[in-house]
Structure 1
Amino acid sequence: MVNKSSAVVVAPAAGILLGVVDFIWIKYVPSPFGDLGNSIAVWAVVAFLLTYRFRWSLPVGIAGAIVCLVVAVPFYYLAATVIQNDDVSNAYNRTALLWMGLGVVAGAVFGAAGVIARTPGRLRVAAMAMPGAVLFAEAVIQLRRVGDPSYGTAGQIGSGAVLIALGVLTTLLVGRSWPQRGLALLLTLPLTAIGWVLLTFTGFR
């Protein structure tokens, strides 16, 4: 019961906080760090860290992560309504619903990974590599834009570097020993390739 009751409070509260802080971050923090607010990988990492931090069961962790990311979407747009008078319909239009759908997928995958990463077993280290891998995958997308006249070269390099640094830091933080951290970093390589393919498939290029 403690498992479920904490998730009922924590998951939506985390989603509200994520949505509001994300908009404020984008609006007021300069590039390249401000670009993290536009990162789907960062939202996936939030889902991972949420279930890694709270000792929820796998089903509760997945549900909690999904709730967090889905709730974050309308609150992101509501923050935009309050701060810069955007249309309130943005919180429930087609684009918002698309992001909520992606939140369901990311919440399920990374919420599960967060639970598995703190659970002894064969998949534990691979799960620890997941947040770093998704950050690295998005960094690859950013760096592949270098030279594209549609994007600023310096901005893409800066954003890519920040994502890579954050990926390494996250992997080191969730690891419990240096051999474990090293193996997790090694496993980010194939997982990054998979993540890049999936992000590209969903339209992030």
Structure 2
Amino acid sequence: MTTIDHDVRRRHRVLTVVACGVLLGVVDLLLQRGLPYPWANLANSSAVWALGAFGIGWWLRGGWWRSALAGIVLLVVAVEAYYLAAVVVLNDDARTLWSSTAVMWSFFGVLAGALFGAAGGLSHDRRPWRRAIAVAMPGAVLLAESAVLVDRSGNPGGGPRYRADSLQTAAIEATLGVVLILFIAPTHRVRLQALAAAAALAAVGFAGFSIAGFGS
């Protein structure tokens, strides 16, 4: 492959990552408004956004650090695309694009993008223990958020409808988490290893969500 071909491929990959970020942010807003509950909760899910970073890292196959960088770009672009879509579709104030809320979500995008983007890249690693942990990551974050939703459903101020929506979304996410591991893992052995790793990582993820304030 010539240097020119390599540069063209690299530009195409960068443009693909940016385009996917724009698509994630815009589609997320539209689905939140268009889907019925509990499915609309998935569009508003931090775990589902983390899956986007994992997916771009898995697709890139560029080593863990390139995959991490791609995950960061994807989620930071998605945050700004979300708020820009809100300005266009909902007539929100344009200042939301650089508001403290947008900055906060961009910060979380950097953290989640690096972690899950790298995991996506490492899901192709030849070392069994790294591959098993990486494959476990998307399922683990869904299981962790599912546990957060179950815990949050006990909020006395939420009401019966809120409790039902939270529990239904939790069930969907837990099921999706297990299915993703079974789908991504290349062999039965890796599936078993990843499921075991996901249980432990989900506990860590639940603590992380709680510390970040998502559990309240």
In the alignment, what sits opposite 2:114? 108
- 2:46 paired with 1:40: yes
Q: Distance in 2 between matches of 1:32 and 1:168?
A: 19
Selected match of 1:77 from 77, 83, 97: 83
Task: Assess if the C-alpha contact under 8 Å between 1:4 and 1:60 holds in 2.
Answer: no
Give the aligned length. Answer: 205
AA at the equivalent of 2:172: V
Q: Does 1:147 align with 2:154?
A: yes
Partner amino acid for 1:165?
A: T
Distance, in Å, in 1 between the alignment partners of 2:157 and 2:139 is 27
Contact 1:81–1:88 (8 Å) recurs in 2: yes
- After the TM superposition, which segments of 4 or more aligned residues of structure 1 sit over 2 Å from their partners? 1-7
- The superposition leaves residues 150-203 of structure 1 with CA deviations (integer Å, 9 ceiling, x where unpaired) of 322101111101111111121112111222212211211110001111111111
1:44-193 aligned at under 5 Å gives the runs 44-121=50-127, 122-151=129-158, 152-193=162-203
Larger radius of gyration: 2
- 8 Å Cα contact 1:4/1:56 also seen in 2: no
Q: Is the 8 A contact 1:129 1:184 kept in 2?
A: yes
**Structure 2 unaligned regions, length at least 5:** 1-5
C-alpha contact (below 8 Å) 2:63/2:122 kept by paired residues: no
- In structure 1, what is the Cα distance between the partners aligned to 2:164 and 2:98? 34
Instruction: State the TM-score, normalizing by the size of structure 1.
Output: 0.95
Deviations 1:67-92 (A, max 9, x none): 00000011101111222211121122
Cα deviations by residue, 1:113-135 (Å, 9 ceiling, x for unpaired):
00111111131111100010011
What is the CA–CA distance in structure 2 between the aligned matches of 1:6 and 1:124, rounded to whole Å?
Answer: 27
CA RMSD of aligned residues (A): 1.3
